[in-house]
Copies of this chain bind each other. A is one copy, B any other.
């Protein structure tokens, strides 16, 4: 809509109006607008943006558009953009561009920044160092509040946040933090040492970024310092990075729970072969393990051929067991992810799931019994076989579903992968064994 309006104005050569329209827009909306336009027009509009806005818009863009712009721009223009990017955005850019584009970017980056980029690029993708930014305000504890504010005035313009400033010693070791609020509200001659909080929560560069996000959330932070092995301050993590990590982690868990290799990109941008590759492995694993149920059925073929009616109840038993089990495993997996429970709680969980299992199993068995007796024309013993199995299957599924994720985590395996996709197969197998045990006992067949 907006894109059409801008294109119309471009058509009419009314560049002044284009400029006015874009000046009124938020950089995120501008970025969406540009991505909807043909590439040549996009370049025209991008070049009309004020430098600061252009850099913000550029940082928001998908890498394909960034690549196009870097290739289309002059060296001076590239330098103008890169110079205004936050360090973490520059690193993302360098990581995702092909070699020739990276070269053009680095050629237009100053020496110091290039060094820091190389350093950050060395951190593994899933650690705190990879999501930190290096633009923060550092103070010395010998400064007065007045000095500190003066220092912020001089250096604060390009920092990602000045809400919290960090206090370091001569070796850049982290000593404390002080909020800008405290600096403003205190007397100018008060020392930073007296104002700072020495009990500051920090993370190491190599800590898993999900653990860092967990600490950030636990301590309700707005920014968090990142230190190296010698406790030297090297960067900070801000709330927007943490929110991204949390959403990414949740997406991964959703995908793994549905037996997929997590996608790195949005669905619409992922091509069909990548999607197929991410899905086929678990489908194959689960298909092969599901054949186990086939072998159990064939083993009891004689039983089934004596009482053919039994076959009709296999799906409902397996489905209900699977649903009951995945309810429990999902609940426990989620609690593990939020650090609400751990291995110490395993017996508590088993006992709780057992009781929940008994209650739900009893209700399901009774409802099923009534349904069978009223609607299905089968004997009472078949009905009892089905419902007795239902009762035992649901309880087993609940206990196994509750226990499995905790055991997986204890064995340092991913509880989502180990427990969630496997639960159906495990419960299916157990369900059939229980069912046939009941059948051979209650119906007196073998």
Interface residues of A (CB under 8 A from B): 24-26, 28, 149, 152-153, 156-157, 159, 161-163, 180-181, 184-185, 199, 201, 216-222, 238-240, 242-244, 246-247, 250-251, 253-255, 257-260, 263, 266-268, 272-273, 275-276, 279-280, 282-284, 286-288, 290-291, 293-295, 297-298, 301, 304-305, 308-309, 311-316, 318-320, 322-324, 326-327, 329-335, 338, 340-341, 345, 348-349, 352, 355-356, 359-360, 363-364, 367-368, 371, 376, 394, 421, 424-425, 428, 432
Q: Which of B185, B242, B294, B331 contacts A316 (CB 8 A)?
A: B294
CB contacts (< 8 Å) of A159 on chain B: these are 181
Cβ distance A325 to chain B, nearest Cβ, rounded Å: 9
In the complex, the answer to whether B185 meets A331 with C-beta atoms within 8 Å is no
Q: A222-B161, A315-B318 are in contact. Are A338 and B251 (CB under 8 A)?
A: yes
Measured between C-beta atoms, what is the minimum distance from A287 to chain B in Å? 5
* Least Cβ–Cβ distance between A54 and chain B, in angstroms: 16
A294 touches B315 (CB 8 A): yes
Q: Which residues of B contact A28 (CB under 8 A)?
A: 218-220
CB-contact partner of A156 in B185, B240, B355, under 8 A: B185
What 18 new A-B contacts, CB under 8 Å, besides A251-B334, A254-B257, A284-B367? Answer: A26-B201, A156-B181, A163-B180, A216-B243, A217-B240, A246-B246, A266-B340, A267-B341, A280-B364, A283-B320, A283-B327, A287-B368, A294-B313, A294-B315, A301-B308, A304-B308, A305-B308, A323-B421
Set B273, B282, B333, B334: member contacting A323, Cβ < 8 A? B282
The reply to whether B315 and A428 contact each other, CB–CB distance below 8 Å, is yes
> In the bound complex, how far is the Cα of B223 from the Cα of A161, in angstroms?
13
Q: Which B residue's beta carbon lies closest to that of A217?
A: B243
Interface residue from B219, B268, B283, B338 paired with A364 (Cβ < 8 Å): B283
Q: A243-B246, A263-B331, A334-B254 are in contact. Are A287 and B320 (CB under 8 A)?
A: yes
Q: Give the contacting residue for A363; candidates B260, B280, B309, B334; CB below 8 A.
A: B280
